[in-house]
């Protein structure tokens, strides 16, 4: 496998390959960017290439590559988080492992996924390894919020910020999971806004399709009380998906605005064009723009807002208003 298998991220991949081919490998790297952008995938393939003593993991059958593929390579150590926090004990355990020399090759790779979840104590502890790493150790971090790491960690780490993928790249990534209906695939590609993990998750979870259908149903009949209660139930049951839900609603209003402006190509919800037209026919451009602004505001506030129930009420009110 290795870096060659990665779709997209061309600039990043060629930078990483250059580091390896020119023998300039340092001790600490970070991949940062939004949830679902592929930090984990890139980090693993980078680790795989670092560990292969022959430097060609594409078609390599060496013991390092074989065990890496099986997930049993002793020179690879991954810290997996439950997403809440990474404490000092976890880092201490990692450091004990760092003390032993590589088993197969010349390097050992330590991957801390969600490194921005490290407590300050954990980061200070890790700092000792970053300050005086054994020559064989490479630390790889992934972080949604790279700036949350201590400046002392960041100053010793080379950070690669991952950029969104093109629509064509997303299409290639999700193709194996893709629905037969081309318009539906178009929706997932456009809706993901360059983040493959978003498209993959939506395609894998059938509940997302139901959610989308229910929400579009409500937008079609904003006065329908039973439909509204259904959406309220969905919102109550999918707290983690609040921003996705707002994204769905915004995508519908954006499409309606396009329709009212006479632009029907390039709709996000192109597979629901008829319903979009119906919703648009009951709205004015002004109203749609106001709603989009309100939703954007709501999404921004929601990140800091603990009061979920209030968020739901405001959202439903916003949809109901004619």
**Closest distance of CB 111 from Zn ion, Å:** 18
Instruction: Report angle CA 143, 169, 208 to the nearest 5 degrees.
Output: 70
**Closest distance of CB 106 from Zn ion, Å:** 12
Residue 18: how many CB atoms within 10 A of its CB? Answer: 10
Our CB check for Zn ion shows the closer of 63 and 177 to be: 63
Our CB check for Zn ion shows the closer of 52 and 174 to be: 52
**Closest distance of CB 57 from Zn ion, Å:** 5
DSSP 143-167: ES-GGGS-HHHHTTSEEEEPPPPPH
Q: Please give the Cα distance from 190 to 269 (Å, whole number).
A: 8
Helix, strand or coil for residue 119? coil
Helices of type H across the chain: 10-21, 39-51, 63-70, 88-98, 120-131, 151-154, 167-174, 182-191, 196-204, 206-220, 225-237, 242-260, 273-281, 285-302, 308-320
Question: Rule CB under 5 A: which residues touch Zn ion?
Answer: 52, 54, 60, 62, 65
**Closest distance of CB 44 from Zn ion, Å:** 14
Q: Please give the Cα distance from 227 to 229 (Å, whole number).
A: 5
Max Cα-Cα span within the chain: 69
**Closest distance of CB 23 from Zn ion, Å:** 17
**Closest distance of CB 62 from Zn ion, Å:** 3
Strands in 108-112's sheet, in edge-to-edge order, are 76-79, 108-112, 137-143, 28-32, 158-161
């Amino acid at each position: 496998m290795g870096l060659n298998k990665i779709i997209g991220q061309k600039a990043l991949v060629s930078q990483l390959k250059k580091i390896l081919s020119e023998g300039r490998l340092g001790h600490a790297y970070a991949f940062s960017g939004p949830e679902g952008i592929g930090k984990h995938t890139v980090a693993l393939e980078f680790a795989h290439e670092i560990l292969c003593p022959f430097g060609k993991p594409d078609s390599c059958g060496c013991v390092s590559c074989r065990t890496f593929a099986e997930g049993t390579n002793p020179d690879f150590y991954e810290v997996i988080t439950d997403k809440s926090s990474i404490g000092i004990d976890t880092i201490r355990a990692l450091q004990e492992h760092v003390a032993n020399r590589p088993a197969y090759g010349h390097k050992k790779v330590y991957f801390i996924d969600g490194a921005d979840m490290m407590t300050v104590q954990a980061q200070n502890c890790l700092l000792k390894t970053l300050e005086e790493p054994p020559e064989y150790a490479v630390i790889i971090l992934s972080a949604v919020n790279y700036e949350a790491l201590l400046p002392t960690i960041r100053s010793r780490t080379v950070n690669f910020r991952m950029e969104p993928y093109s629509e064509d790249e997303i299409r290639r990534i999700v193709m194996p999971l893709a629905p037969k209906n081309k318009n539906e695939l178009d929706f997932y590609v456009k809706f993901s806004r360059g983040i493959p993990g978003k498209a993959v998750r939506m395609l894998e979870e059938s509940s997302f399709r139901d959610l989308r259908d229910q929400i579009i149903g409500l937008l079609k009949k904003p006065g329908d009380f039973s439909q509204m209660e259904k959406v309220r139930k969905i919102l109550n049951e999918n707290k983690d998906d609040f921003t996705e839900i707002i994204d769905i609603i915004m995508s519908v209003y954006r499409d309606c605005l396009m329709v009212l402006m006479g632009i029907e190509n390039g709709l996000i919800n192109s597979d629901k064009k008829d319903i979009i037209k119906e919703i648009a026919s009951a709205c004015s451009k002004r109203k749609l723009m106001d709603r989009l602004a309100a939703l954007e505001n709501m999404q921004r506030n929601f990140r800091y807002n603990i009061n979920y129930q209030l968020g739901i009420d405001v959202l439903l009110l916003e949809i109901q208003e004619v």
